[in-house]
Amino acid sequence: MHIAKISGTEGYAEMAEFLVQQWQDISFEQHHAMILHLLPLAPSRVLDLGSGIGSDAAAFAAMGHSVVAVEPTEELRLPGIALHDTPSITWLDDSLPDLPVVQARKETFDLIMLSAVWMHLDATQRQRAMPKLAGLMSESASLILSLRHGPIPAGRRMFDVSTEETIELAAAQNLLPILNVRTASLQKVNQQNAVMWTRLAFRRASA
């Protein structure tokens, strides 16, 4: 059954057409310059959470990876499926913090990406989500996420999540930071509002 509104997705359906164009203006290499060195070279299993129209998922597929793209907003997921028609991408209608559809597949992944996703979860949801993410990671997997800092756009549900809290939640799951970098936004609208992003990456302490 399709759930009409998932917490954190507010505003995305209404802005889908504008967002699709905005996202297509920035290349994968530009958007992810800070974490390119952390991406697996060998064919791997990638979980792309909050994949939007699938630009990142398509880039991962082009690298030879097998991708599960999770997007709860139909107005973004359906254009993504149409844009990126490849057997290397499996699209799912699912959402954090619990990811029941992904969990039911009983898979683990070598890379989990949460690009501009974590800030949509409130404190309780973040506490619930981190163990779920850790449980989906293979032994040598990387978890890469971004935190947004700055004014919240009208009609959106976002939180200014601290780097310290995120590192503490990850540490409770035996995940240690391997990257912690803050940069300015690449999007013009965000630049005008002095929006900053923190990129964090984690691996298991035993990896």
In a domain, 44, yes or no: yes
152-166 per-position pLDDT tens digit: 776 778 998 999 999
In a domain, 173, yes or no: yes
In a domain, 2, yes or no: no
In a domain, 99, yes or no: yes
Which of 165, 168, 94 minimizes the C-alpha distance to 136?
A: 94
Which of 146, 161, 153 minimizes the C-alpha distance to 192?
A: 153
In a domain, 10, yes or no: no
What pTM was computed for the model? 0.85
Confidence of residue 145 (pLDDT cuts 50, 70, 90): very high
Beta strands in 24-97 (DSSP E): 45-49, 66-70, 89-92
Enumerate the β-bridge partners of residue 70.
49, 92
Confidence of residue 188 (pLDDT cuts 50, 70, 90): low
Distances, alpha carbon 64 to alpha carbons 39, 55, 60, 80, in Å? 12, 15, 7, 18
In a domain, 3, yes or no: no
Which of 139, 131, 141, 146 minimizes the C-alpha distance to 49?
A: 146
Do 80 and 57 form a contact (C-beta atoms < 8 A)? yes
What single-letter amino acid sits at 100?
P
Confidence of residue 21 (pLDDT cuts 50, 70, 90): low
How many folded domains does the chain comprise?
Answer: 1
Q: What is the CATH number of the domain that holds 48?
A: 3.40.50.150
Mean pLDDT of the chain, nearest integer: 87
Chain centroid to Cα 13, Å, comes to: 17
Domain that holds residue 56: 16-204
107-142 per-position pLDDT tens digit: 999 999 999 899 999 999 999 999 999 999 999 999
In a domain, 9, yes or no: no
